[in-house]
Amino acid sequence: MEESPRFQIQVTSDENALTIRELSSTMIGKIVCVPGIITATSKSTIRARKAVFQCGKCGINKIIDVPYGLSKLSPPGLCENPTTRCGLGTYRFDSDQSEYVDQQTMKLQEAPE
């Protein structure tokens, strides 16, 4: 496998920049301008944005919108089909019907100036 070239990117903007201390949880999922230096990055991964779970007994689907952030997703406990009594733990994640987004974590350090 050949080595990829090393490079640096400097992104600039005319927008009013926020400091890291001014960031809040209401800004998750929005584009903001923050001056700083990226000190570390993770590999790009996929993350479910809309998760579809299917009951293994009756086949009913349960769609869950996954919020932004680092929350963990767990399957519904009880089947919601009113005509059958499927019991607990019958839902299975359906990866083909779910929707995904790319995700990458970056560590940002305040600009020295």
Instruction: Locate 13 and state its tokens.
Output: 């903007």
Residue 5 lies in a domain: no
Kindly report, residue by residue over 25-79, the tens digit of the pLDDT: 888 878 888 888 889 999 988 888 899 999 988 888 999 998 876 677 888 888 8
Sequence-distant (6+) residues with CB within 8 A of 95 are: none
Residue 7 lies in a domain: no
- Overall number of domains in the chain: 1
The amino acid sitting at 37 is: I
- State which residues form the domain around 74: 20-110
Residue 54 lies in a domain: yes
Quick one: pLDDT band at residue 94, thresholds 50, 70, 90? very high
Residue 43 lies in a domain: yes
| Signed CA dihedral, 84, 85, 88, 89: sign only | negative
**CB of 60 within 8 A of CB of 54?**
yes
CATH code of residue 31: 2.20.28.10
Cα separation, 24 vs 98, in Å, equals 29
| Residue among 62, 67, 64 at smallest CA distance from 78 | 62
